[in-house]
Amino acid sequence: MTALARKKIAKLERLAELAAVHSKEQGESLWREALKRVRRNPSAIVGASILGVFILIAVLGPFLVPYDPGQIGVGIPFGLEVKEGQAIYPGPNSEFWLGLDHQGRDMFSRMIVGARQTLLVGVVATAIGLTLGCLIGGIAGAAYGLGGKRGRTIDNVLMRFIDMLLAMPSLLLAISLVALLRPSLMTVMIAVGFISVPIFARLLRGAMIAQSNAEYVVAATSLGVHKRKIALSHILPNSIAPVLVQATLTLATAIIEAAGLSFLGLGNPDSSQAEWGTMLADGLFNSRFDYAPHLALFPAIGIIITALGFTLLGEAMREALDPKLRK
């Protein structure tokens, strides 16, 4: 009897709690609801944790390193020397956790410092691609959706330009850009950003055209709202979700592509700056991969894990923002 009563009380309490949750004062916007869904998604939690650690390392990098990442022959005082001629590369040990690279520098310190370069390239490149892409795609989408016949012409011109970019293989485009502008950190970021422009432009344009047929756009027109305001305050906010998801996913590919450029020798020529792509190339070409595979393995793992983190978070965001998947 008492057990039953207790059960009932517990149930009532749960119901009261639910009611309290639902009678909150403020309304909830779609963004806040999406954020809630993201927080419940396990892959988002994993992705966000990976990225949290990665960003922490990137920011605090110089304070975390046990040795100067640029110091050649840092292992000599400990009797650990790299002898390239004899293919001797001290592997992971208690002093140098990830071993020494082909010039006898501490791999662990270089990995930590390299995180910052990787993050910088990824974020700046994605920002460049996002800004340019959204500008072109937004203008094209708004012109097509609301601009009538002249709008369609504007859209046509912009999109043929985007098609041209899209027609070229992205890495090839990046390589030609870097080769054209001479390699430097900035060129790498511009090149990697530039190749993601068509994706963002197409995505935003498509979403905006779809939204411009929505009934609430007709409603806003019938209210007498200015076309520019309709485009900016109705169509754009409702079209931006897939673009943000794509931006998260592009961060992952940007990191891989920047590493690819460095790998091909088109990265930052300043070799004192450790960078995972360059380290990967060094591990493969400048040392003996058959004797010291770990020199290539660690940077590769670093790139893969970060890219995975961004991808997981991006996928979780896609799920949270997709209106079809909403309960």
Partner 1 sequence: MTGKLVEIDDLKVHFPITKGIIFDKVIGHVKAVDGVSLSIGQGQTYGLVGESGCGKSTLGRALLQLTKPTAGSVKLGGVDLTTLPPEKLRAQRKRMQMIFQDPMSSLDPRQNIESILSEGLLAHGIGGNRDGRRALISRTLDAVGLPQWALSRYPHEFSGGQRQRIGIARALVLSPELIVADEPVSALDVSIQAQVINLLDELQNELGLTYLVIAHDLAVVRHISDTVGVMYLGALVEEASSNDLYRRPLHPYTKALMSAVPVPDPLVEERRERILLKGDLPSPANPPSGCRFRTRCPWAKERCAQERPELREVDGHKVACHYAEELSGLLAAV
**Which residues lie near partner 1 (CB under 8 A)?**
25-31, 214-216, 218-226, 229, 234, 237-238
Count of C-beta atoms within a 10 Å radius of residue 237: 12
Residue of 120, 96, 121 lying closest to 107 (CA atoms): 96
User: Which pair of tokens denotes residue 36?
Assistant: 């809630």
Single-letter amino acid, residue 56: L
Give 6 or 326: the residue with its C-beta nearer to partner 1.
326
Cβ closest to partner 1, residue 24 vs residue 182: 24
Stated length of the chain? 327
Asked if 297 contacts 283 with a C-beta cutoff of 8 angstroms, the reply is yes
CB of 65 to partner 1, least distance (A): 45
Which CB, 216 or 285, lies closer to partner 1? Answer: 216
What does the alpha-carbon distance between residue 209 and residue 195 come to, in Å, rounded to a whole number? 23
- Nearest residue to 99 (alpha-carbon basis) of 298, 313, 315: 298
Burial of 46 (0-12, 13-18, 19+ CB in 10 A): middle
With respect to partner 1, which residue has the nearer C-beta, 80 or 236?
A: 236
Which residue number, 17 or 28, has a Cβ lying nearer to partner 1?
Answer: 28
| CA atoms of 182 and 171, how far apart (whole Å) | 16
Q: How far is the CB of 121 from partner 1 (least distance, A)?
A: 33
**Which residue lies nearer to partner 1 by CB, 31 or 285?**
31
For the record, the structure tokens of 124 come out as 């700046």
Separation between Cα atoms, residue 308 and residue 1, nearest integer Å? 54
The least CB distance from residue 229 to partner 1, in Å, is 8
Q: How near is the Cβ of 204 to partner 1 at its closest, in Å?
A: 16
Task: State in angstroms the smallest separation of the CB of 233 from partner 1.
Answer: 8
* Alpha-carbon separation of residue 123 from 131, 135, 188 (angstroms): 12, 18, 12
Least distance in angstroms from the C-beta of 33 to partner 1: 8
Q: How far is the CB of 30 from partner 1 (least distance, A)?
A: 6
Comparing CB distances to partner 1, the nearer of 22 and 182 is 22
Nearest approach, Cβ of 246 to partner 1 (angstroms)?
A: 19
Residue 122 Cα distances to 29, 132, 166, 314, 317, angstroms: 30, 16, 20, 14, 19
Backbone angles phi, psi at 315, to 5 degrees: -65, -40
Nearer residue to partner 1 within complex by CB, 219 or 301:
219
